[in-house]
Amino acid sequence: MKSHAMCSNMVRCLGDGNTSLQKLATSIVFFFCLSDVSCNSVEQKIYVELNNTVPCVRLLNATHQIGCQSSISGDTGVIHVLESEADLEWPLSKGPNPPYMVLLESSLFTRSIMMKMKNESNRVAGVAVVVPNTSPPEFSPHTTCPNENTGVYSDNYGPNLAHCNTTVWNPRGNGLSYEEFDFPVFSLKEDNETEFIKQCYLDHNRAVNGSAPQYPLCAMQLFSHMHAVTNTPTCMRRNDINFSINPEMVCDPLGDYNVWGSIRPYNDTVFGHKENESVVIAAARLDSRAFFWEVSTGAEGSVSGFVTLLAAAQALREVTHEAPPTRNILFAFFQGETFDYIGSSRMVYDMENGKFVIDLDNIHSVLEIGQVAVHSGTNLFLHSDPVSRRNNTVNDEVREELFSSFFVFLLVEPNVSQPLPPSSLQRFLRAQPIPGIVLADHESAFNNRYYESFYDNAANLNLTYPSDLSPEEQLEFVTDTAKSLTDVATVVARALYKQAGGNESLVNNIKADPKIVTQMLYGFLVSSNNSWFQACHKHTGRYGVLGYLGLHCFVFFCLLEPSPPEYYYLLANLTGAATNLTQSQCQKPDELPNESRQMYSYLWVQGIVPPNSTERDSFCVRASVRLTKAVSPAFELGEYASKDYSTWTESRWKFIKARIFLVASRDLEMLTLGVGVAVLFTSLLVTYFISTKADVLFSSTREPASAAY
Amino acid sequence: MNLERLPNEEKLTLCRKYYFGGFAFLPFLWLVNVVWFFKEAFVKPTYTEQLQIKTYVKRSGLGLLLWVAVLTTWITIFQHFRAEWGEVGDYLSFTIPLGIP
């Protein structure tokens, strides 16, 4: 304030003179004042921006839209902190100042409260959920029967097993993620900003002694306007219309890349069936989701599975070099399995249409690692498909072999008439009856209390570190969770080796490395910016968002080449070999006689920093690890209303923000506007009158010309 | 352009041009015709060409009313039913609003 007053005084003092000196002085003062203008903007005095918010976005599939939508200029509502379910009466019926912005604690973020607010959505402007650091006893916003329409069980195949008739896999699911809300729902962390909001509520919005709170009231405005509507065919059609002057993309198909690697390399340019080639596929899923956008970690849901498989791949590296098994082992990591099996349906489609290095007939069996967050002492369960078991005698032999391979844990086979849990194996079975097993820690319903929720984090896996460790020490510390996952990985590796026809006597030498498991758990669940990940990666760039399905097209720009994800580099480092190629040779390996880009991928990784130097020890890794596109076949075929394949798309948006400010009453606003309009008309009238009567009002009294005497 | 200064024949030519021009799907020319020549046709004292100017203005007015009726009906129907028409509605639209059906 003071500097501004000083500046304006100085400018006024300089006057509006025409001399060049005055002009120079004015311009000097002007530039001096300009440097000081940032702190006193009126906007900053009114609005407080909320920075740590996460919105819920809109997703569409062939028939529906789910998620949340705000109006294009944001939704404003008077803040109300909900105390209990009965307190919902205030925003929904009793409160005198609708619409309300309801602030919920996470314990009140339940289906019944959200549905009540959805039904009265003209009085509810939006919802803000405060996410605490400790998790509630259970919470799963996913449906009770995940992926029920795109699995293998349908009216034609095991009709009594379809739609979770025999086993409900996710009984705690409340289905909130799949509901449609026409108001914005944001999540806030429990930090200073949230305290500020609650304080604002207590200062201004509390009803005192039963009387209505007085204006001005504390209000919140949420912006999360989504561009896409109705369903996927509509939004893809609107994407394609190139009739208007500035075509706007409104939605993007969900999709990313699958990562696969094999013990014996395949020529990446030769697709289709390979004679006399029999492959054991080891599969795991990479992704997970939550109600809010991009906050999913999926610790028990997906990280436990793929970390186990990565450790098993590393455990098999040595023994398969010494004594290669008869069958090849293909490690497949599927992306997008949450949304109707995007990754696995794409791989199966590619196999069926001769666009992948092997064919469905080349597959000997499938071993899938599901949710395996065993806490020591619990069992591992081997799920298989009852329908194909009935019809297939080969299946029996394989099953016997597979069951005999697992001997460390107490391995149990669940009820023979129980269907497969939601897993990528179901998509393989849809195409062809292939023997397969899904390894999981649950006998029937999931043990995971936070399936596909933002609470499925490190705490859910009991990943605890002693409090006095630095981040580097935490990275190396082997937790109990890591130990039990290492045991699972050892079992998986041995089973895979036996399954692939390896030398029986070498099986006991296969052991997974707990240090690698614990480093991976740390990197994926605690902090991805650690020295091990950096050493494995090609540059210290931004480490994408793990868990949620990465999209390549964000608000205004599309990344031309997505940066390969961590899993790709990890699998390459764990199964590949270090070479002594230079960096330029690593980029063009075909020039060398023994190297071929068709058979291997060559990645330049940073390496670790040796203790006595500052330069990183970079080197070239050669691995038979590839990325394949994981976009649903529905988008390749243009069948946006497909019932067989995933049709999920995510809407685009321009910006997402939240802010709070004080609002005045509507009456005061109308009064101000009225007074302004009245002043306008009065001034017009006065001007009119003055101009018509100008000669009367401004008559100059002519003085008689005084003669100069 | 000040009609006061034009001789009457030129006024008639101008009115006629606007009248015929409006048939090329240009109802605004008829609107201009009606507004501009209204005083000339109905308010000014009679002169030779005024009768013809009057005819042209009246017919322009009729054409204008017809266009207004047709356009208003079509616009109302389109705005109301565009969302329900799905694909057809999208192909007929020049600008599709974002975020609403």
A289-302 residue pLDDT tens: 999 988 888 899 99
Rounded CA-CA distance A29/A696 in Å is 45
Q: Which residues of A touch B88 (CB under 8 A)?
A: none
The alpha carbon of residue B82 is apart from the nearest alpha carbon of chain A, in Å, by 13
Which residues of chain B make contact with A238, given a CB cutoff of 8 A?
A: 90, 96
Domain range spanning residue B61? Answer: 3-92
Query: Can you tell me the distance from the alpha carbon of A10 to that of A1, in angstroms, rounded to the nearest whole number?
Result: 14
Q: Which of A229, A232, A239, A653 has the most B C-beta neighbours within 10 Å, making it the best mutation to test the interface with B?
A: A229
Establish if B39 belongs to a structural domain: yes
pLDDT of residue A231: 92
With cut-offs at 50, 70 and 90, classify the pLDDT of residue A402.
low
Summarize the confidence of residues A113-122 as an average pLDDT. Answer: 92
Does A601 have pLDDT greater than 50? yes
pLDDT of residue A303: 92
- Tokens 């005061």 — which residue? A668
Burial grade of A599 (CB within 10 A; 0-12, 13-18, 19 or more): middle
Note the pLDDT of residue A343: 93
CA dist list (Å): B3 to A371, B36, B38, B46: 87, 9, 12, 16
Mean pLDDT (whole number) for A5-34: 57
Sign, CA dihedral A189-A191-A197-A198, equals positive
- pLDDT at A698 exceeding the cut of 70: yes
- Contact check, Cβ <8 Å, B100/A229: yes
| Whether the Cβ atoms of residue A675 and residue A96 lie closer than 8 Å to each other | no
Residue A407 pLDDT > 70: no
Contacts of B90 in chain A (CB under 8 A): 234, 237-238, 241
- A-chain residue closest to B94, CA distance: A244
Q: Poorest-confidence range of A62-76, A666-680, B41-55?
A: B41-55
Pairing outcome for strands A653-663 and A625-631: unpaired
Interface check A555 vs B, CB under 8 A: no
Weakest-pLDDT range from A25-39, A155-169, A566-580: A25-39
At A244, the pLDDT band (50, 70, 90 cuts) reads low
Round to whole Å and give the CA distance between B60 and A68. 52
Structural contact between residues A220 and A129, judged by C-beta atoms closer than 8 angstroms: no
Residue A20 or residue A487, greater confidence: A487
Query: What pLDDT is recorded for position A25?
Result: 64
Residues of A with Cβ-Cβ distance to B87 under 8 angstroms: 237
**pLDDT the model gives residue A241:** 80
Nearest chain B alpha carbon to A243:
B94
The arithmetic mean of pLDDT across residues A453-475, rounded, is 89
- Structure confidence at residue A544 (pLDDT): 46
pLDDT of residue A233 exceeding 60: yes
pLDDT of A559 reads 39
Say if B99 falls within a structural domain: no
Query: CA A547, CA A679: separation in Å to the nearest integer?
Result: 59
Q: Which residues of B touch A226 (CB under 8 A)?
A: 99
**Which chain A residue has the Cα nearest residue B95?**
A244
Give the count of alpha carbons within 13 A of B2, CB side only.
2
**B33 in a domain, yes or no?**
yes
Higher local confidence (pLDDT), B73 or B91: B73
pLDDT digits (tens, 9 = 90+) for A511-551: 999 999 999 999 888 888 888 888 887 765 444 444 445 44
Alpha-carbon span A336 to A278, nearest angstrom: 27
- Is the CB of residue A235 less than 8 Å away from at least one CB of chain B? no
pLDDT value at residue A294: 81
A241–B91 CB contact, under 8 Å = yes
Confidence of residue A603 (pLDDT cuts 50, 70, 90): confident
Give the mean pLDDT of A115-119. Answer: 94
H/E run at residue A493: helix A480-499
Judge whether B68 lies within some domain: yes
The reported pTM is: 0.85
Structure confidence at residue A339 (pLDDT): 93
What pLDDT, on the 0 to 100 scale, is given for residue A19?
60
Confidence of residue A9 (pLDDT cuts 50, 70, 90): low
Q: Taking 70 as the threshold, does the pLDDT of residue A417 lie above it? A: yes
Note the ipTM here. 0.78
pLDDT tens-digit profile of B15-35?
999 999 999 999 999 999 999
Interval A470-517: pLDDT, tens: 888 888 899 989 999 999 999 899 889 988 888 888 888 889 999 999
- Residue B98 domain-assigned? no
Do residue B99 and residue A230 have CB atoms under 8 angstroms apart? no
Size of interface A-B (CB pairs under 8 A): 29
- Region A667-681: mean pLDDT is 95
Q: What is the per-residue pLDDT across A54-102, written as a single tens digit (0 to 9) for each?
A: 999 999 999 999 999 999 999 999 999 999 999 999 899 988 888 999 9
- pLDDT tens for residues A335-375? 999 999 999 999 999 999 999 999 999 999 999 999 998 76
Reference A70, options A189, A221, A292; nearest CA is A221
Chain A residues near residue B101 by CB distance under 8 angstroms: 229-230
SS3 B43: helix
Maximum CA extent, chain A:
139
Q: At what angle do helices A304-322 and A514-525 cross, to 10 degrees?
A: 150
Number of domains chain B contains: 1
Cβ contact A241–B98 (<8 Å)? no
> Cβ B86–A227 below 8 Å, yes or no?
no
Chain B, nearest residue to A238 by Cα: B90
pLDDT band at A556 (very low <50, low <70, confident <90, very high): very low
- In the prediction, which pLDDT does A328 show? 94
Residue A234's SS3 state is helix
pLDDT tens digit sequence for A306-319: 999 999 999 999 88
Q: Which of residues 52-81 of A touch B (CB under 8 A)?
A: 69, 72
